[in-house]
Structure 1
Amino acid sequence: MMRILSTILFILLLSSCTSNQVTAIKYYDFVQQEVMSEPDNIKNKSKHIHIGQVDVQGVSDQQAIIQILRDSSVNIANYHFWSEHPKFTLSSSLLRQLANKTQGYSVIPANKKNPEFGDFLLEITVTKLAGHFTLGSVIEGQWFVYKQTDTGKVLVNTQFFSVSTELENSGFSGLIQAHEQSWLKIISSLNQTLLVYSDNKQS
């Protein structure tokens, strides 16, 4: 009887040790965080660009990091996650980057202030946000730029985008770094578009 109990206790001890050997969950975030414009500068800007929350669609609409494999299948990481849902990470980066790049307009999140005549509204849909076995980071989607007129908002520009960035470092950390660089490329192109329309004095 004692031998049986000893065997059972030993098995339980082994099970306990095995269960403790769980792969650690890791979380990742963008590194570059631009400092927002000074409040005094904001006061001097009478017009606004209203930034809507980035809409992430498809399988990438989750916190787990997504990879596209060689056989075109999709891998959803079990232990590697964005530090928050990617729609929040992308939105925060977009807001901060544009706040320091856009001249003559203050950048604010949508729904914080009613759009006024001459304001711009920006919406972005991301349809692919994944690591790729050869391309590295891949971000695809479409942006929509609206202008507020006396009759409502009018679409003045829309563009599809597809950007890839090779990984400089291996692993999921390297992938998130590449995602950040891809996103910054998209923001740079978007900023050039906004500059064209914000410099246009026609209503």
Structure 2
Amino acid sequence: MFKKFSQWWTWLLLGATTPRLTLAPRTVILAQQPYQLAMAQGEDVARLVEIERTIYHIPPWDETAFYYDLHRPNCLYLVLKNEHGVQAYAGMAVNFEAKDGHLTNVATHPAAQHQGLATCLLRTLMQVALQHGLLTMSLEVRAENLTAQRLYHQLGFQKSGVKRHYYFEDGQDAYTMTLNLTQVKGI
């Protein structure tokens, strides 16, 4: 009961004034394979957690966290699906006052990595951010995750700080990275 009241109250406070982030589904071709690019739905959550478990062994986000974000008007989660289901996803939470889109999650199933899926998702989120008048995008990335850092750097993100012991499950540090959307060209 309290959860429903809390969701209603949040909608009343934010939902009426916060634009809902949306994206029309479309087909994209990546590595010569067709994928459906769409907004994540509730039925996708189990696969998102499965991908996280495959990558991290202990998923940083559980079903509850994903379901919560999928229903927030200022969040947008995108998925890329093929005939085997969701292969990659990315999420963004928008702070409209600060004009910042914070990347909350980016993950690609190991069997589909290095085929441009994460790049496609991030570029799409950058387009959505620009359409909503955002000025920056931000994220945290494991200090040891050099592959992700290279990807973010190629898209224009720059290291802007360090968060010591950011990841509670293993105590690893995180770099904060920021992208100035006013300097982005050709998305």
User: Could you state the TM-score of these two structures normalised by the residue count of structure 2?
Assistant: 0.26
More relative contact order, 1 or 2 (CA 8 Å, 6+ apart): 1
User: Could you state the TM-score of these two structures normalised by the residue count of structure 1?
Assistant: 0.25
Computing the radius of gyration from Cα coordinates, the structure with the larger value is 1
